[in-house]
Each structure stands twice: as C-alpha cells, then as structure tokens.
C-alpha cells in the first residue's frame, strides 16, 4: 500500500521531540500536533523521501536489525494509525 503525507503536515523538532504539526490546509483534517517516537520519526522521514512500502520495510530492517515480518507489521501499524488520524492519505 502506498501512502502520501497530507499537504500541510510539517515535521519539526521541539525540545528534542519530533512532532507533526498540521498547518494551513491540513488544519481541521488532522490533529494540530502529534509527537513521534524514534521509530515513527524514522518511518515518517522515509515517507518524506517518497519511498514505497517495500523500500521503507527494507530500510526499517536495516536500521533496526529486525526481520521483514516484524518490520512490515510495524510499518502497517504506524501507517494505519496516522491514516486514521488524518496525517496520511492512502493512494
């Protein structure tokens, strides 16, 4: 499955925390702000690079030394939560 970032969502660092902020046209479509943990921030950066699911899973397995099945489950959970919140669009 391919996801894209809702236009107007900005990733920023605040006090050492990675946050997503809904700006402009994204306001009202996604929560104003959301904090990401280290793994979620890594996955978000992969989406910003325009990578597809296979490339993101490969990057996740390499970065964290986990197997493909675990990486796929982690990515699916991450993407589903952010899609439900409005930060991601499913293509």
Domain containing residue 67: CATH number:
1.10.10
Above 90 in pLDDT, residue 91? no
Q: Do residues 21 and 85 touch, judged by C-beta distance below 8 A?
A: no
Please report the pLDDT score of residue 1 as a whole number. 79
Reduced 3-state DSSP string for 6-64: CCCEEEEEECCEEEEEECHHHECCECCEEEECHHHHHHHHHHHCCCCHHHHHHHHHHHH
Q: Model confidence over 52-90: pLDDT tens digits? A: 999 999 999 999 999 999 999 999 999 999 999 999 999
Above 90 in pLDDT, residue 3? yes
Over residues 19-30, the mean pLDDT reads: 96
Enter the pTM of the model: 0.94
- Which domain range does residue 67 map to? 3-90
What value does the mean pLDDT of the chain take? Answer: 96
- Give me the number of domains the chain comprises: 1
């Amino acid at each position: 499955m391919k996801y894209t970032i809702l236009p107007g969502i900005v990733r920023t660092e605040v006090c050492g925390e990675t946050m997503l902020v809904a700006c402009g046209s994204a306001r009202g479509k996604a929560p104003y702000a959301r904090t990401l943990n280290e793994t979620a921030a890594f996955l978000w950066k992969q989406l910003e690079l325009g990578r597809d699911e296979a490339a993101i899973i490969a990057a996740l397995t390499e970065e964290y030394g986990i197997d493909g099945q675990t990486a796929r489950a982690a990515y699916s959970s991450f993407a589903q939560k952010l899609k439900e919140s409005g930060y991601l669009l499913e293509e």
